[in-house]
Amino acid sequence: MRYYQENCGLYVEMRASVFAKIQLQAMGEYPNENGGMLAGRYSSDKHTVYVEEVVVPIEKTTGRTSFVRKTKGLDAVWKTLSTKGLRYIGEWHSHPNGTTQYSPTDRNAMVEIEKEVAIGNPILLIVGVTNEGVNAHTFYCYKNNNLLKYKEMIDLRGLFTGLQKQMETSLNVNREFISHPGSKGDATEQHWINFLRTYLPDRYKVDKAIVIDSTGNVSWQMDIVVYDGLYTPFIFKQDGFMYVPAESVYAVFEVKQDVVGNIEYAAQHVESVRKLQRTSMEMVASGKRTQARPLTKIIGGILTTTSSYADNETIKKHLNDLKGYQTLDLGCFCDSGSFYVDYKEKEPEGVDAPKSIEEKRKYIKQLYESRNVKDINFSDKDVSLFTFFLQLVSYLKSIGTVPAIDINEYLKAIDEKIDEVI
């Protein structure tokens, strides 16, 4: 839990477990007020105060609209806390059936505290409580005879780890309670698809699909295909299968329960997409006609619920052994970390600013064939899901927009042609 006072550039960080203690104490005295002292420490630059303990007064007076505490009998408590590097940093008290706005009495109490204790900018936490529990709380900083309000910040790591645990739980429930291998695989794939659909921008579509090209070649069925959602002119659905044109594909992933034995398998699936014959033609952007762009890389990876490898060295070896179209860019093992591969890539010789589609295909093939692993990076296991996601978003941004499809190349299959000139 993190809070910010923008006028002074000050922060407060409080452990959730500390706030839980305060909630229990506030509800325990309801409908009377309750309170106590806060113990913590300051950052080296004094801009952040960390609330790490609640000190309960031995002597106190409580009422519906008042709370007074004494410091008597707490010497041993503060001595123990000091051995942990903790010190007095401020106060908290509750407002039963009231707001968390401070009163003149609250401000006067902080004035006296600053006089008595050698501390700069002591903090005050006011907790609103009803018969149903704590419904609000506000931190204040006492500075220059005023109480300045902190605003609550979003705990990004908390959000990330919360979503991580939710995803792990869903995947593990599938693994434990769905016995049929095919059904288990389908359910796992759907969880990954739903995650990407929820968090990727709307310009990207996510489905299980087979990728096709204008010559009639097809990829293996891909567990996850991330493809263009704005300019893709046609997507076929037949006999329960979805077919997506190769030009529209940004990324493909293979989904498995565990990574062991599946890196090469995923690489072969990725290769089946990358080697398809893509087209590229002129397009109109912002009212201006632009030249056909070079073929873009297709991101390839693997997603699993677990990794049974003892360490990452075996994974690195498998990734290092992949060559050309089979090279993988990134992946996520939900219980143990995500990875991305940093490649050295050599600009193909003899292909200067490729113009024809044949040159463009030769260029992208030689670029993949030149790949050599420079480094393989693994994330912390507690945030594997979001480090994978943010790395994917970064790669997607670097691609921009996929090449425009030459529809007439597909119409050759039925001996037809359209006029694409505006």
Instruction: Report the C-alpha gap between 365 and 274 in whole angstroms.
Output: 9
Residues in the chain: 422
Q: Which residues of 334-369 are buried (b: 16+ CB within 10 A; e: fewer)?
A: bbbbbbbbebeeeebeeeeebeebebbbbbbbbbbe
Whether the upstream peptide bond of residue 354 has omega within 30° of 0, thus cis, is: no
Please tell me which residue in 29, 91, 106, 223 is annotated as part of the active site: 223
52, 53, 247, 256: the active-site residue:
256
Q: Which two tokens stand for residue 333?
A: 């093992």
3-state secondary structure 211-241: EECCCCCEEEEEEEEEEECCCCCCCEEECCE
Q: Can 59 be counted among the known catalytic residues?
A: no
46 catalytic residue (yes or no):
no
Residue with tokens 């398998």: 265
Q: How far apart are the first and last CA of the chain?
A: 57
Taking the C-alpha atoms of residue 78 and residue 268, their distance in angstroms, rounded to an integer, is 63
Does residue 395 contact residue 299 with C-beta atoms inside 8 Å? yes
Kindly name the residue from 29, 33, 254, 406 that is annotated as catalytic.
Answer: 254
CA-to-CA distance for 393 and 399, rounded, in angstroms? Answer: 10
- The secondary element (H helix, E strand) that includes residue 361 is helix 357-369
Answer left, alpha or beta for residue 78, where phi above 0 means left and psi between -120 and 50 means alpha.
alpha
Handedness of CA 339, 254, 201, 404 (dihedral sign): positive
Hey, which residues does 67 pair with through a beta bridge? 62
254 classed as catalytic:
yes
Report the catalytic residues.
Answer: 223, 254, 256
